[in-house]
Structure 1
């Protein structure tokens, strides 16, 4: 991401990712750290686990990797374009176009089971800090006791800052690494493993960005 010049119009998450479509997958899906995180999660999951993929994008690599391993995957994304691409590319998973912030937690209905794992790879960055905190707590309620949370972010201390992301003007909010880890712990999780890496998207406008991966368990 690069700093945006001026105070012009910025795209919502839905509009930004509608316009990116498959370009996002081409830029980010080859991340070695992301794939290593998925393999670590697979090693922790029991066969046939129920997994929620928050910000599922085009379905690759996260939903596809999990579905191919025999897990039951529900992907949720705010972008209709991304959701349509994912449903076409990963028929072994189920995708829903929705704002995860307004969805009731799994298990709230007696007939609905909680999830064994939740993945949220870089899907919080266009939410306010309050929404990120509230969502992490909600994801904890969606998990069965002892369930897994894998969350990744760009660990920068920024709040509602205008940036240019793959040529699109957006606003982003994040936390520094220590602050974000503390936020996850406060939401009711124990951090089991973390990795910091530097990744450059495969895109003409791509620049190196720090990335933080946390693997956690619900307390």
Structure 2
């Protein structure tokens, strides 16, 4: 499957899920703790990019309620419509994040919660590097994924066909470090989404900081 074919498939899957996705993952305590970790490190009024923002909950809502300036980007029009309605204090854009111009050093923090899985490994590496460049020096990036050794796996997610790629935990940590991040903390958990077709799945959360860039 080409990249141009993969993008519509990913959008269609999450268009179909809509608010069902939010309900399925609302019980993730690890996600909540991750947001608390980030909030404790943000200065007032920080600018935060939420990649794969979904319905806006819990990430964009939690950050916006804390007074931060949040931009959410998602490829699913249905998700973006839901997010804009549910979290009016944040801004949302329907687009592939790779098509959004991101100025270097323009964000205090970037959130990437489970939004890499629809990309192949090469694309994931390229996107993480791009997102790191969009961070200010010492800015924070939170990355969560399902840490499995798979590439181009055809799977069913909440009843919808998807193609999934990921990295095992050690390789994901290496990817982050090679992209210019310092991994400060990591937390692994096992979570079962609230959905009839769901099975327990491993989750890995990396809490990172962009390494300082020395003065020229």
Q: Does 1:184 align with 2:184?
A: no
Give unpaired runs (5+ residues) of structure 1: 1-8, 108-112
Q: TM-score if structure 2 supplies the norm length?
A: 0.93
What is residue 67 of structure 1 aligned with on the other side? 64
Q: Which residue among 102, 112, 123 is the counterpart of 1:105? A: 102
C-alpha deviation, 1:104, in angstroms = 2.0
What is residue 30 of structure 2 aligned with on the other side? 33
Q: Is the 8 A contact 1:11 1:169 kept in 2?
A: no
What is residue 106 of structure 2 aligned with on the other side? 114
Structure 1 residue ranges, 4+ long, deviating more than 3 angstroms after superposition: none
Cα deviation per residue 1:73-105 (whole Å; 9 max; x = unaligned)? 000000000000000000000000000012222
Quote the Cα distance in structure 1 between the aligned partners of 2:143 and 2:155: 22
Cα deviation per residue 1:31-90 (whole Å; 9 max; x = unaligned)? 000001000100011111000000000000000000000000000000000000000000
Quote the Cα distance in structure 2 between the aligned partners of 1:140 and 1:121: 15
Quote the Cα distance in structure 1 between the aligned partners of 2:31 and 2:181: 20
The structure, 1 or 2, with the larger RCO (C-alpha pairs under 8 Å, 6+ apart) is 1
What is residue 214 of structure 1 aligned with on the other side? 206
C-alpha deviation, 1:30, in angstroms = 1.9
Q: Does 1:165 align with 2:162?
A: no
Q: Which residue among 126, 133, 156 is the counterpart of 2:125? A: 133
Give unpaired runs (5+ residues) of structure 2: 1-5, 212-216
Count the aligned residue pairs.
206
Quote the Cα distance in structure 2 between the aligned partners of 1:106 and 1:40: 25
SS in 2 for 1:116: strand
C-alpha deviation, 1:11, in angstroms = 7.0
Distance 1:30 1:117, change over 3 A: same
Distance 1:90 1:36, change over 3 A: same
Q: Which residue among 71, 76, 79 is the counterpart of 1:79? A: 76
What is residue 3 of structure 2 aligned with on the other side? none
Quote the Cα distance in structure 2 between the aligned partners of 1:153 and 1:185: 16
Q: Is the 8 A contact 1:52 1:74 kept in 2?
A: yes
Q: Does 1:24 align with 2:46?
A: no
Quote the Cα distance in structure 1 between the aligned partners of 2:26 and 2:174: 28
